[in-house]
Amino acid sequence: MSGMTVPGRRSGKWRPLQTGGLGLLAIAIALALAACDSSPRGAGSALVTVEWEGAASPLGAAKVFLLGEGLGAATGEEGAMAWSHTPAGEEGGIRVVVIHTGTPSTLRFTIPLDDLERGAPQATLWRLIDQENNLVSLGVEGYRVRVSLVR
């Protein structure tokens, strides 16, 4: 074995291959970046906003149906109060009633989600009530519901 060369061996003593500290750091960073992607994972929440614009009257309350899996109980935001429940026979969705307690500008509530990777729940307006406690027709333009994912 006198003429053979063995990687990592010098002058008869075994030495592990030497990679500098920067090399290990570069490998660690590369592995960390490879594990990341842009899609959200894990628990988070959905911010649900009922909006009105143009000639639409400001709302005092709304009933919203959310369709999706892993939805938690609603919590009112920015001066609104919210209540939610899962109706019998309607698994995979919840109904939320949101009422604004002050001068409304929008009706907002959050819903905890057990996994953001499933995406935002689908939201449908079921009932709209104006500030005078009158039912607003769902056919009136200017009302919409928007859902945004929050990490």
- 14-58 residue pLDDT tens: 555 455 555 656 666 665 555 555 555 688 899 999 988 876 778
Residue type, 110: T
pTM for this prediction = 0.69
Separation CA 127–CA 35 (nearest Å): 44
Question: Given this structure, which CATH class describes domain 44-150?
Answer: mainly beta
Cβ(102)–Cβ(79) below 8 Å? yes
Separation CA 7–CA 15 (nearest Å): 9
Tell me the per-residue pLDDT of 71-118, one tens digit each, with 9 for 90 and over: 999 999 988 999 999 877 767 889 999 998 776 667 999 999 988 888
| 41: Cα separation from own chain's centroid | 9
Q: How far apart are the first and last CA of the chain?
A: 61
> What are the residue boundaries of the structural domains of the chain, listed by start?
44-150
